[in-house]
């Protein structure tokens, strides 16, 4: 049995959603299982050194679920990387492409101070468009970002290679590759 196979079987695959040809890896079925959700967060926490970062940045919307649970458990402040038009304060934004479209994320300009270390957390890494946009936004505000953590990595889509190329280590509990 592979590591985290007990959690992997709870991730449902839906073909041709939201567009033909996309294999959607649906973590909602994992999140429905309370003990499995807790194990997911505990194992994500075990992959990182809490002394190596000051804040956790989560990406709306699915990324908020995992990043908020980690922030709570580790007592780390949470930086919200939000979809457009949701933040009330002065914000910066960035456009990006993902597997099935384009989008934009934003963050408050006063969320972090230069030099503060931020762990980036999302549920899933595919093309890396979203995570790379998060890294760029955070670094643009002076944050130090060297690790990004996910439940699921889809390495065939190239996101993990993109993050590595910009000196961000991608970590994930499980990968779906070649299937
Ligand atoms: O690596 P990428 O190709 O960028 O894809 C990964 C992103 O796609 C999903 O979010 P989505 O934009 O579908 O939004 P949601 O969290 O609101 O469902 C997922 O939660 C990641 O944020
Ligand atoms: N294949 C996929 N499954 C689930 N979420 C995604 N986000 C981008 N690509 C995805």
Name all domains of the chain by residue range, CATH numbers in brackets. Answer: 49-175 (3.40.50.2020)
Beta bridge partners of 147: 169
> Ligand 2 — pocket residues by CB below 6 A?
22-25, 98-99, 124, 126, 154
Q: Which stretches does DSSP call E strand in the chain? A: 12-15, 23-26, 55-59, 77-81, 91-98, 101-108, 118-125, 147-153, 169-175
pLDDT at 80: 98
Q: Supply the pLDDT for residue 173.
A: 98
* Complex ipTM value: 0.98
For each successive 10 residues of the chain (179 residues), what is the average pLDDT? 93 97 97 98 98 98 98 98 97 92 95 98 97 98 98 97 98 92
Q: Which residue has the CA at smallest separation from atom 14 of ligand 1? A: 61
Tell me the per-residue pLDDT of 26-60, one tens digit each, with 9 for 90 and over: 999 999 999 999 999 999 999 999 999 999 999 99
pLDDT of residue 100: 84
127 Cα nearest atom in ligand 1: 3
Q: Can 117 be counted among the known catalytic residues?
A: no
In the prediction, which pLDDT does 179 show?
A: 66
CA distance 179 to 48: 28
Give the closest residue to 138 by CA, choosing from 173, 100, 91. 91
One DSSP character per residue, 115-161 reads T-BEEEEEEEESSSHHHHHHHHHHHHTT-B--EEEEEEE-GGGSHHH
């Amino acid at each position: 049995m592979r590591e985290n196979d007990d959690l992997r079987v709870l991730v449902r695959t839906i073909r041709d959603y939201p567009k033909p040809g996309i294999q959607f890896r649906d973590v909602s079925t994992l999140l429905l299982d309370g003990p499995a959700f807790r194990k997911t967060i505990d194992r994500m926490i075990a992959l990182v050194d809490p002394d190596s970062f000051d804040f956790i940045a989560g990406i709306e919307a699915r990324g908020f679920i995992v990043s908020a649970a980690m922030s709570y458990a580790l007592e780390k402040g949470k930086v919200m990387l939000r979809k457009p038009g949701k933040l009330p304060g002065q914000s910066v934004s960035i456009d990006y492409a993902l597997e099935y479209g384009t989008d934009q994320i934003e963050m408050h300009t006063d969320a972090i101070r230069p030099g503060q270390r931020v762990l980036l957390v999302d549920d899933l890494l595919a093309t890396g468009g979203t995570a790379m946009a998060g890294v760029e936004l955070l670094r643009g505000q002076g944050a130090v970002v060297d690790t990004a953590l996910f439940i699921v990595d889809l390495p065939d889509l190239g996101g993990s290679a993109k993050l590595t190329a910009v000196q961000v280590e991608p970590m994930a509990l499980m990968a779906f590759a070649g299937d």
